[in-house]
Amino acid sequence: MPANPVQIGPLQCGRGLPLLFIAGPCVIETEELITEVSNRLAEIAVELHVPLVFKSSFDKANRTSIHSFRGPGLERGLEILARVKERTGLPVTTDIHEPHQAEPAAVVCDMLQIPAFLARQTDLVQAVAEAAARHGRVVNVKKPQFVAPDDMQHAVSKCLESGTDQVLLTERGTTFGYGRLVNDFRCIPIMQAFGCPVIYDCTHSVQLPGGSKTGGQRDMIPTLARAAVAAGCDGVFLETHPNPDQALSDGPNMLKLDDVPRFIRQLLRIRQALNEDGFD
């Protein structure tokens, strides 16, 4: 069985524990940006007494255009994330796209994230799970847009059979026709039934795929996040940027950094109401 709770550096996520937040810019644009955002998120975590993991990608391999910005690459990206971890004390996570990236990323990152489009790739899942097991890390598998929640039990099984029981699953919307994602909030309890904590990705869920570049409905982020917390998710994943309209990746579906404290406070009030009513 998967572990519940899971241990992410000094933090825990799981049944009966405070709501976990995973937050940061979509991609590492510059070290200056990462320093600014990670410092502010560390302050917010202290101010609001919330467990928070910093997230940013060293490479965005899944871009609409070959000319789109992808990031600084594995070596430079991990150097920057290591400094975030040392400076802020926050655990860090990043995307893994190829099996050979798993081991060096596991040396630095407390959690290794498997992107939704790649969650069916057995070699990748196995490499990430094995590296996580060697270094005491957590694997976060994002549910593909084309996969039913019930079928995520196979990703969990691959992780368990590859040596780690430290597994999170993340819901991020399901493809509905062309160019739209929808959220079925039954995904949360269905995937929790496998024994794993379940995270809700409120920013990628508002993506509008298709066209010359991916769009998004940023104004819908709070609505969907509130619904997910009410449905009992164990944590919330959100990408954030000081100026999303100027971001080099996924700007239309990132939350403005200045709006993060109010956003988190709203979700904490919903979580508190559930706890007061004895929600399980």
Per-residue pLDDT tens digits for 75-120:
999 999 999 999 999 999 999 999 999 999 999 999 999 999 999 9
What does the alpha-carbon distance between residue 119 and residue 170 come to, in Å, rounded to a whole number? 11
Nearest to 253 by CA among 238, 266, 268, 264: 238
Contact at 8 Å (CB) between 187 and 149?
yes
Q: Which of 56, 57, 129 is nearest to 88 (CA)?
A: 56
* Predicted pLDDT at 65: 73
Q: Cα dihedral angle (179, 228, 192, 51), rounded to 10 degrees? A: 110
What's the Cα-to-Cα distance from 137 to each of 10, 73, 74, 110, 175, rounded to whole Å?
Answer: 11, 21, 18, 5, 30
Identify the pLDDT of residue 120. Answer: 96
Q: What's the pLDDT at 77?
A: 98
What is the structure's pLDDT at 271?
96
Query: Whole-angstrom Cα distance, residue 162 to residue 157?
Result: 8
What are the tokens at 206? 């508002």
The CATH architecture to which 6-272 belongs is Alpha-Beta Barrel (3.20)
Alpha-carbon distances of 61 from 58, 72, 152, rounded to whole Å = 10, 12, 23
**Residue 73 in contact with residue 59, Cβ under 8 Å?**
yes
- Looking at residue 83, its pLDDT comes to 98
Give 37's contacts (C-beta < 8 A, 6+ positions apart): 24, 25, 56, 240, 241, 242, 257
Q: How many residues in total does the chain contain?
A: 280
The C-alpha atoms of residue 143 and residue 16 are separated, in whole angstroms, by: 23
Q: How far is CA 185 from the centre of its chain?
A: 17
C-alpha separations of 240 from 12, 40, 45, 190, 255 in Å = 22, 11, 14, 28, 5
The pLDDT value recorded for residue 211 is 58
d(C-alpha 114, C-alpha 112), whole Å: 7
pLDDT at 193: 98
What does R_g of the chain's alpha carbons equal in angstroms?
A: 17
Rounded Cα–Cα distance for residues 216 and 120 (Å): 25
Q: What pLDDT does residue 63 have?
A: 65
Q: Is 167 helix (H, G, I), strand (E, B) or coil?
A: strand
What is the DSSP track for 126-159? HHHHHHHHHHT-EEEEEPPTTS-GGGGHHHHHHH
Nearest CA-CA partner of 2 in 157, 171, 115: 157
DSSP 249-261: SSGGG-EEGGGHH
Q: pTM for the full model?
A: 0.95
Q: Which residues of the chain have pLDDT under 50?
A: none
